[in-house]
Amino acid sequence: MSDITSQSLFELTSNIKEKKLSSGEITKAFIDRAEKSKKLNVYVTDNFEKAIDQSKKFDSNPNFDLKLPGIPIAVKDLFCTNGVRTTAGSKILNNFVPTYESTVTQNLWSQGAILLGKLNCDEFAMGSSNETSFFGNVQNPVGENLVPGGSSGGSSAAVAANLTPVTIGTDTGGSIRQPASFTGTVGLKPTYGSCSRYGIVAFASSLDQAGPMTKNVRDCSMLLEVISSFDQKDSTSIDYKRNNYSKELSKDIKGKKIGIPKEYRVDNMPDEIEQLWKNGISYAKDCGAEIIDISLPHTNYALPTYYIVAPAEASSNLARYDGVKYGFRSPGQNLIEMYEKTRSEGFGDEVKRRIMIGTYVLSSGYYDAYYLKAQKVRQLIKKDFDDAFSKVDAILTPSTPSSAFKIGEKTNDPVSMYLNDIFTVPINLAGLPGISIPAGKDKNNYPLGLQVIGKPFDEQNILNISYALEDKINFKNDISDWWLRE
């Protein structure tokens, strides 16, 4: 049996069920490794002591019928966890301890999982490199001083560095898929409405969606099966019959029609990304899929549309952090001064930038030109996909226009940072499911991902296609554990 922390979720659950490993052993192994991996800065808050207790409790009365029996899992610090500090990577929630549990994390615990701790992320999930976190940047285990992507950067790094078997992130414009791509891991953003948003610190409500981040596609299907549920506490949650994703997982994609959108061949795209895409296409063909050229004509407008809609919603969603009820407060002589000081000191630059953009695009006189127009374009982008899906079963694109970049490389250039999301934001705007799987490496040996986009509620199909491609690609992450201190 290989080292515990390098095992997949599938292996760990099998070993627990076959009583080859106990929850206590597994939990301790991940905690020990985390203690030696502080340099990566993946944890904002750990829950190690309680996790040990809970694993012992599981072992004393194990229930092997559960889907995550005694499996320790760390989650992005955007999910509210009852009794465990939840910061959203922000100073303004530095001292916030929820008295309630998000539906998605509750689904994990209900299936036997144990909370290891809360993982670092960009402040309020606003960022593509985990550099906007109040708790500092995260190191990508792939290479020193590389960003792990964002906003779920702590999550992607933790999975890649074997600090948690699997994790959950949130994806508003690519925050699961881009960091997965940067770390050689698998990340899936489900259809909008698949996973409840109840108890997730909101960034942009019409785009936010929780999803699994894992080492492989099978684990991804196992975790999606647990976290996806209809929830009456979220009015945008959708009541539909969910698949048994792991049970129905299949590599047989013969005859599947896979679309290749020409608009995703963007200017200045590195050759290696182009090559990666070509390889993906030929693997899909090898699996018996039919490749069809398609057009998504409004792709160019997706990024500007996203950077109007998301900040607009964020500017309103973040109004509640005002120092009155909970979280950080900087005292003032009067209410206005308290607001100004609290929010100036409590929010970081990127969050402030987006609040200002959002406030601007919603202001009277600008609303029609920006917000309303963006909503109309959003409909056109959605229609592009509807049209495409009348011809194909899924769409294959690169996940990102580049591999992981150096820490600090783009911090002073927000627009080039935003460009990271160019292939992922259209999927959020259209509310579709999308998955990123590791598909190759660039000249520096940094991972690159391919994205498979599906029809609404068709997660099973993109999981199956990814499962088939994963087998052909046979990607091996090359992580040297450079950060470990003995």
CA angle 472, 67, 99 (to 5 degrees): 120
Each residue 236-275 as x (binds other proteins by CB under 8 A) or -, in order, gives: x---------------------------------------
For residues 108 and 226, give the distance between their C-alpha atoms in angstroms, rounded to a whole number: 6
Q: Which of residues 366-395 bind other proteins (CB under 8 A)?
A: 367, 371
175 is catalytic: yes
Q: Which of 186, 195, 204, 422 binds other proteins (CB under 8 A)?
A: 204
Q: How far is the CB of 191 from other proteins (least distance, A)?
A: 15
Under the binding rule (CB under 8 A), the answer on residue 445 touching other proteins is no
Q: Which of 9, 16, 200, 258 binds other proteins (CB under 8 A)?
A: 200
For residues 312 and 358, give the distance between their C-alpha atoms in angstroms, rounded to a whole number: 4
Q: 10 Å Cβ neighbour count for 93? A: 24
With a CB cutoff of 8 Å and minimum separation 6, the contacts of 91 are 134, 328, 345, 346, 347, 348
With a CB cutoff of 8 Å and minimum separation 6, the contacts of 338 are 323, 329, 330, 331, 332
Query: What does residue 174 show for φ and ψ, rounded to 5 degrees?
Result: 140, 5
Greatest extent of the chain over all pairs of C-alpha atoms, in Å: 70
Under the binding rule (CB under 8 A), the answer on residue 325 touching other proteins is yes
Under the binding rule (CB under 8 A), the answer on residue 176 touching other proteins is no
Q: Which of 24, 70, 89, 98 binds other proteins (CB under 8 A)?
A: 98
Catalytic residue among 23, 151, 221, 246: 151
Query: What does residue 210 show for φ and ψ, rounded to 5 degrees?
Result: -80, 155
What sign has the CA pseudo-torsion 173, 179, 184, 189?
Answer: negative
With a CB cutoff of 8 Å and minimum separation 6, the contacts of 287 are 251, 253, 254, 468, 469, 472
Catalytic residue among 175, 181, 221, 237: 175
List strand residue ranges (DSSP E) for 217-271, in order. 257-261
Q: How far is the CB of 245 from other proteins (least distance, A)?
A: 25
Under the binding rule (CB under 8 A), the answer on residue 230 touching other proteins is no
The edge-to-edge listing of strands for the beta sheet with 72-76 is 43-46, 114-119, 72-76
Catalytic residue among 37, 67, 76, 256: 76
Under the binding rule (CB under 8 A), the answer on residue 44 touching other proteins is no
Beta carbon nearer to other proteins, 113 or 207: 207
By CB under 8 A, the count of residues binding other proteins is 43
Q: How far is the CB of 199 from other proteins (least distance, A)?
A: 4
151 is catalytic: yes
Q: Can you give the binding site for other proteins, defined by CB under 8 A?
A: 79-80, 86, 88, 93, 96, 98-100, 102, 197-202, 204-206, 232-236, 312-313, 315-316, 318-320, 322, 324-326, 335, 339, 359, 362-364, 367, 371
Q: Which residues are catalytic?
A: 76, 151, 175
